[in-house]
């Protein structure tokens, strides 16, 4: 099993979408999040929650969620005790912009691999098996949620 400690290089989780906007009205520099952006962020958060729950049901242990560094972000980092699995989660409410997994382009895969190296260095993880998965989450309005887990996507 992998043991992790918190690190000053990890800017932490972005689990709270409300942190993006100051709703108290007391700060004149508060960021205003347009409603469409807020819905988009909430949809992504919902997809990541569903993906994390799916992985937990499969027996994986969550190591990091929304881990960030200067190179980028990892959505979910999980382990089964033998392999570290980096999961990129893509969520869509419809098919207008194509299949969610199609959004994981070559550039995105390269960035994820680079960020994974930083994650491994930050948490002092030595040699281990690493796998890159994609979880596509479909949340169509008024329909059942569908999740597609692509094991070893890249």
Go through the domains of the chain in sequence order and give each one's CATH number. 30-150 (3.40.1350.10)
Classify residue 25 by its DSSP letter. Answer: S
Can you tell me the distance from the alpha carbon of 58 to that of 100, in angstroms, rounded to the nearest whole number?
Answer: 21
Question: pLDDT tens digits for 110-120?
Answer: 999 999 999 99
Q: In the predicted model, is pLDDT for residue 36 greater than 60? A: yes
pTM above 0.85, yes or no: no
Percentage of the chain modeled with pLDDT above 70: 77
pLDDT for 94 equals 75
**Cross-strand pairs, 34:** none
Q: What is the mean pLDDT of residues 20-46?
A: 59
Mean pLDDT, range 69-81, rounded to an integer: 97
User: How high is the pLDDT of residue 20?
Assistant: 27
78 touches 63 (CB < 8 A): yes
Based on its alpha-carbon atoms, the radius of gyration of the chain, rounded to whole angstroms, reads 16
Query: Which residues have C-beta within 8 Å of that of residue 110, sequence separation ≥ 6?
Result: none
Say yes or no to pLDDT of 10 above 60. no
Q: How far is CA 117 from CA 41, 56, 123, 128, 150, in A?
A: 26, 24, 10, 12, 21
Query: Residue 94 and residue 40: Cα distance in Å, rounded?
Result: 12
């Amino acid at each position: 099993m992998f043991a992790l400690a918190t690190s000053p290089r990890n800017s932490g989780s972005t689990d709270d979408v409300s942190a993006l906007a100051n709703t108290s009205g007391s700060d004149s520099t508060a960021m205003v999040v347009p409603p469409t952006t807020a819905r988009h962020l909430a949809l992504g958060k919902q997809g990541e929650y569903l993906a994390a729950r799916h992985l937990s049901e499969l027996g994986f242990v969550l190591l990091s969620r929304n881990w960030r560094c200067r190179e980028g972000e990892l959505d979910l980092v999980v382990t089964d005790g033998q392999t570290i699995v980096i999961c990129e989660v893509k969520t869509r409410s419809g098919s207008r912009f194509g299949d969610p997994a199609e959004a994981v382009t070559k550039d995105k895969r390269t960035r994820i691999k680079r960020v994974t190296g930083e994650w491994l260095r930050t948490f002092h993880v030595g040699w281990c098996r690493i796998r890159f998965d994609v979880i596509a989450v479909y949340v169509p309005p008024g329909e059942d949620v569908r999740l597609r887990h692509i094991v070893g996507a890249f």
